[in-house]
Amino acid sequence: LAKTTQPISMDSYEGQEVNITCSHNNIATNDYITWYQQFPSQGPRFIIQGYKTKVTNEVASLFIPADRKSSTLSLPRVSLSDTAVYYCLVVLNAGNNRKLIWGLGTSLAVNP
């Protein structure tokens, strides 16, 4: 049974690159890894998703090694406004019965 594990918390400073790694065993080749960001009193917000190698958009990059047992969300040059909880989600692509396996979230604190 697939499970996602991520660090509970991380600290960083403004301007640094932050990498948050999620471990996920037993995922198939076409299962997706998705990351969400959540601010207090708001719902999670989609950041990025992929299922292999590297994906980049305007806010983040997602690195997925060949063995797909982990993935890394990379936030370049963080600012104070990036302080939030980041969730790793594995979407098991099982047709009409797709399953969503959420991590427990990583609380990122960006310091001045």
Partner 1 sequence: NAGVTQTPKFQVLKTGQSMTLQCAQDMNHNSMYWYRQDPGMGLRLIYYSASEGTTDKGEVPNGYNVSRLNKREFSLRLESAAPSQTSVYFCASSEDGSRANSPLHFGNGTRLTVT
What are the residues binding partner 1 (CB under 8 A)? 30-32, 34, 36, 41-46, 49, 51, 87, 91-93, 95-96, 98, 100, 102-105
Nearer Cβ to partner 1 (43/112): 43
Strand partners, 7: none
Are the C-beta atoms of residues 56 and 73 closer than 8 Å to each other? Answer: no
Q: Give the shortest CB-37-to-partner 1 separation in angstroms.
A: 11
Q: Give the shortest CB-50-to-partner 1 separation in angstroms.
A: 9
Going across the sheet that includes 70-75, the strands are: 3-5, 18-25, 70-75, 61-64, 53-56
Are the C-beta atoms of residues 64 and 30 closer than 8 Å to each other? Answer: no
Nearer Cβ to partner 1 (45/54): 45
